[in-house]
Amino acid sequence: MQQQLNELSQLKEAARGGPSERATEVQHEKGKLTARERIDLLLDKGSFNEVEPLRRHRASGFGLESKKPYTDGVVTGWGTVHGRTVFVYAHDFRIFGGALGEAHAQKIHKVMDLAEAAGAPLVSLNDGAGARIQEGVLALAGYGGIFQRNTRSSGVIPQISVMLGPCAGGAAYSPALTDFVFMVRDTSQMFITGPDVVRAVTGEEITQNALGGADVHASVSGVAHFPYDDEETCLEDVRFLLSLLPSNNRELPPVVRTDDPADRTTEALLDIVPTESGRSYDVRAVIEEIVDDGECFEVHPAWATNLVCALTRLDGQVVGIVANNPGSMAGVLDIEASEKGARFVQWCDAFNVPLVTLVDVPGFLPGVDQEHNGIIRRGAKLLYAYCNATVPRISLVLRKAYGGAYIVMDSRSIGADLALAWPGNEIAVMGAEGAANVIFRREIAAADDPEAVRQQKIKEYKAELMHPYYAAERGLVDDVIDPRDTRKILIRSLAMLHAKHADVPCRKHGNPPQ
């Protein structure tokens, strides 16, 4: 038995060590950690349990029969993050460049099935060169199995993709199916066709980072949610995000104790938000003033900055905040903001995270590009997401809320459980200036002093239809509140809605706008 144990120890040590010291050195020279070093940073110390460490491929041809390293280029298993179970797989770029073959894929399938069965989050640490060409269609079928499992687990367990190297073709599609994508600048890229193919087909010259680097996907395409300068900081924030997430869709997010008083007044809000509807401000300052200890985790902070989406806590309870940001594009809703908000609302609803919506929106962005690129179809995604959501929903109008954008931003009419407003709110079909120009255009045009008449009509319209209590008088706002009581009222309201249950029609699934 001792001889057998010694042999087992040697085999496992060979699997843990990887192909060679030189291969490890090359990985480090590129500014990248090894798969096991990454897992050690992600998981609680000593908690990792590896699955199939001795797996080897059985392919032959093209020299593969003489190269059968243990793990087959992917490390799989489970451990804990802050004491809670998390499943993980990590490509080992030192072995076949992390390329996916049949055995490699089957190991990933195994850990994905385990994550779903155990009801625990799945984190993928991606650093792979795509399909293993030498294994042909078997490699492609392996990707198909991953995609099918990504989809089956969507809305069931949280799925997080961490991009830590170049990922092309099929390797980029699995992350696109997951809930959150992290990327590291300079060392990670995502694209369907790389620079060489782009050059051959279109004649365009472009680098890997310019085509699919972290900043491109974080600010232009919206594929990546979080960009980082180094792997250590990236993985630290993955751990923080996991602390905010439930393990699965049958659980509530974890609650933490806070020393921030639930009844704390928020005096600073009186100065942060200007009373003039046309003046800008950063809504993130409002969020930080309201939430526990001013701490929140913004999703997509560099993309569609006119809408802020963030995970945070109120009295220790996790909530999702969606807020128009007048500091960017006046807080208007456009295609990208609508899609960003829709995806976030859907995720919160899937994982039992209550929604708080802070409204200060002048409308949808007008323009030929917006119309031709489908603002109707794509803006409807946000509307659909809110209408479909059954978690507790509270909307708060901070200042203005005009037109269809007011309806879309979780108004009472589309199902918000509570609709609140500050005393300076303006809820109307459009701004007073535009409304007066439409309603009284003939009277203004016929006047001896058109501008004086126009100003008079603007005042009349504001007094009649845009005063702060117009919506409240008609039951479309449940209460007009003192801004200083915002935190206290939100916490009390969420506590009241904690056990909310909503019956939904029996259906296979809806057909959301695409």
Would you name the residues annotated as active-site residues?
A: 169-170, 404-405
Cα separation, 416 vs 310, in Å, equals 19
3-state SS assignment for residue 400:
strand
And the tokens for 359?
């409204």
Backbone angles phi, psi at 249, to 5 degrees: -80, 0
Three-state SS letters, 324-353: ECCCCHHHCECHHHHHHHHHHHHHHHHCCC
Q: Which residues pair with 162 in a beta bridge?
A: 125, 182
Q: Per 3-state DSSP, what percentage of the chain is helix, strand, and coil (rounded to 5)? A: 45, 20, 35
Token pair in block for residue 314: 């109120």
H/E run at residue 80:
strand 74-81
| Residue 128 to residues 98, 164, 189, 503, Cα–Cα distance (Å) | 4, 9, 11, 44
Q: Is residue 486 a contact partner of residue 290, using CB atoms and an 8 Å limit?
A: yes
| CA neighbor of 512 nearest in space, from 358, 338, 372, 360 | 338
Residues 6+ apart with CB under 8 A from 325: 282, 283, 284, 305, 306, 307, 308, 331
Residue for token digits 């087909």? Answer: 201
What are φ and ψ of residue 138, in 5° steps?
A: -60, -35
State the pairing for strand pair 426-428/393-402. Answer: parallel
- Under a CB-based contact definition with an 8 Å cutoff, are residues 100 and 143 in contact? yes
- For residue 118, the number of C-alpha atoms closer than 13 Å in the C-beta half-sphere is 20
- Residue ranges in 302-409 assigned as alpha helix (H): 335-350, 368-372, 375-388, 403-408
Burial profile 446-481: b = 16 or more Cβ within 10 angstroms, e = fewer: eeeeeeebbebbbeebbeebbebebbbeeeebbebb
The half-sphere exposure of 300 on its side-chain side, counting CA atoms within 13 A, is 27
Instruction: Give the list of residues 6+ apart from residue 182 with CB closer than 8 angstroms, or none.
Output: 160, 161, 162, 163, 224, 225, 226, 228, 234, 237, 238
The radius of gyration of the chain's CA atoms, rounded to the nearest angstrom, is 26
CA distance 461 to 440: 10
Contact 194, 148 (CB under 8 A): no
